[in-house]
Amino acid sequence: MQYLGINYSMEHPPKLDPSFIPFGVWREAYLKDAKVPVSIAVERDKGQISVHHTFIHGTPQMAQADYRYVERYVKFLLWSTGGFRVSVCGCSELTRRLQKAYTPGGERDFDCTFFYQLYEKKLEILDLPLEDCPQVRETAAPMGGNLDGCRIGFDAGGSDRKVSAVIDGQCVYSEEVVWHPKLQEDPDYHYGHIVEAFKTAASKMPRVDAIGVSSAGVFIGNAPMVASLFIKVPRSNWDKVKTIYDRAAKEIGDVPIVVANDGDVSALAGAMGLNVGSIMGMAMGTSEAVGYVNEDRSVLGWINELAFAPVDLQEGAMQDEWSTDYGVGCKYFSQDAVIKLAPAAGIELDPALSPAEKLKVVQALMAQDDPRAAAIFETIGAYLAYTVVLYSQFYDIRHLMMLGRVMSGKGGDTILRVCNGILKAEFPALAEKCEVMLPDENTRRVGQSVAAASLPRL
């Protein structure tokens, strides 16, 4: 197979999407003959800088491939590590094209807006000589695993909220309550529900020593800077959102509170349940949610928003309506992936149904061993296998724990079977190193809210 003059190998193309061009596989092929050194440094909050050294071809014949590679590489780094300043070192011509793309109104206008909202700083693309590349400055932070004392664990989901009361690692009470945070413009609605959950859990324990929160979104400290739960809240009212969890904790008393991204807490729950590190949690639901803890069970301080990082290079890839980009993870590892593949499988879904209802239709067909539904989940399994190659180029993954409603039932079993089969056949060294799996019973017992309760250290 060939793309932009680069020959790459894919022995098991996705059944319903044979035009899929896996970024990770293509990247490995691209780098085989690339000799011109280039470095990319991405700076984020607290002075943290991630630095990646790579190569381009640097010839007129490969100019298009060089730009495609560097542009997708920078995009992946931004959405994995996060950042407000990107220094591209050693390729001025390519950098000038990137600078044009990353301007308001440019091709990457959405990214500019997103990272401005996240860091409250304008996103910059700097052109530097190779020798002036900034030095790496990263510090991993221990995360969770603290179960001493009386703790509240709160899991803020998009359709229900779960709270647990945990005493010395044992869950003594938990409840789930339906709420509708994504429909509410008034942050006081969210605040009221959060406080109510905290107080309910507190009433089940003799005291409260700490509070841990798992929530979708990107956080600076405990402050949600971009979060889907508050999607309807006007930015003019965002000051109330940024302090919402700290204010809610004060209703309980002078106790420490730690808020973390739900993807990272999922990875933490896996690490606690399996008693391992170097674990990535990946949930396929409404979108793709990813979290990661390293071998020391520490978080890297990265945003891990891989739903908007590129996985497919094909020009005709499906566009994400929110980020406006093509070929990004949320269209391959979510209910949207199932829905987009249904027509190719010969399944007609009622357009009046919600995305979640459409997924249930396909899963019901899968439960009846319908070969059309099987083809959909086999295709997602192939997507996953080739994307494990990509993610492993940026993360040290020993365990990839698959979560979310798309992974339930026979469909999830099929995704795992196909993914692990392709890894063993085409990437045996990676298959030996990285276990792709569903959470075991012990991990399920730990649970998201109990793992959240373990976040603060007393």
Given a cut of 90, whether residue 209 has pLDDT beyond it is yes
Output DSSP code: residue 310. Answer: B
Tell me if 29 is assigned to some domain.
yes
Same domain, 253 and 295: no
Does one domain contain both 345 and 202?
Answer: no
| Confidence label for 21 from pLDDT (cuts 50, 70 and 90) | very high
Nearest CA-CA partner of 290 in 385, 163, 388: 388
Which helix (H) or strand (E) covers residue 27, if one does? helix 23-31
Strands 223-226 and 49-56 come out as unpaired
pLDDT tens profile 346-369:
999 999 999 989 999 999 999 999
Phi and psi at 108, nearest 5°, equal: -110, 40
Residue 338 falls inside a structural domain: yes
Which of 214, 245, 266 terminates a domain? The answer is: 266
Are residue 251 and residue 289 in the same domain, yes or no? no
Backbone angles phi, psi at 357, to 5 degrees: -70, -35
More confident residue, 221 or 89: 89
Check: CB of residue 81 under 8 Å from CB of residue 50: yes
**Same domain flag for 337 and 374:** yes
Task: Answer yes or no: is 301 within a domain.
Answer: yes
What is the count of structural domains for the chain? 3
**Is residue 93 in a domain?**
yes
Cα dihedral value 380, 384, 385, 387, nearest 10: 140
Residue 445 is predicted with a pLDDT of 62
pLDDT at 228: 85
Residue 2 is assigned to a structural domain of this protein: no
What does the pLDDT read at residue 442? 66
Three-state DSSP state, 167: strand
Do 331 and 440 fall into the same domain? yes
Residue 453 lies in a domain: no
Strands 49-56, 36-43: parallel, antiparallel or unpaired by DSSP? antiparallel
Q: From CA 324, how far away is CA 304, in angstroms rounded? A: 19
Among 307, 312, 308, 309, CA closest to 19: 312
Q: How confident is the model at residue 273 (pLDDT cuts 50, 70, 90)?
A: confident
State which of 81, 101, 132 marks the end of a domain.
132
State yes or no: pLDDT of 149 exceeds 70: yes
Q: Which domain holds residue 161?
A: 141-266
HSE toward the beta carbon, residue 341, CA cutoff 13 A:
28
| Tens-digit pLDDT profile for residues 127-142 | 999 999 999 999 998 8
The domain that contains 152 carries what CATH number? 3.30.420.40
Measured CA to CA, the distance from residue 33 to residue 229 in angstroms comes to 46
- Residue 312 pLDDT: 98
Please indicate, yes or no, whether residues 86 and 173 belong to a single structural domain of this protein.
no
**Number of continuous H segments (helices) and E segments (strands) in the chain:** 15, 19
pTM as predicted: 0.92
State the pLDDT confidence band at 448, using cuts at 50, 70 and 90. Answer: confident
Greatest CA span in the chain, whole angstroms?
71
Q: Do residues 302 and 439 both lie within one domain?
A: yes
Same domain, 199 and 244: yes
| Share above pLDDT 70 across residues of the chain, in percent, rounded to a whole number | 99
What is the average pLDDT value for the chain, to the nearest integer?
95
**In the predicted structure, residue 53 carries a pLDDT above the cut 80:** yes
Same domain? For 332 and 230 the reply is no
Asked whether residue 181 is assigned to any structural domain, the reply reads yes
Asked, for residue 315, whether it belongs to a domain, the answer is: no
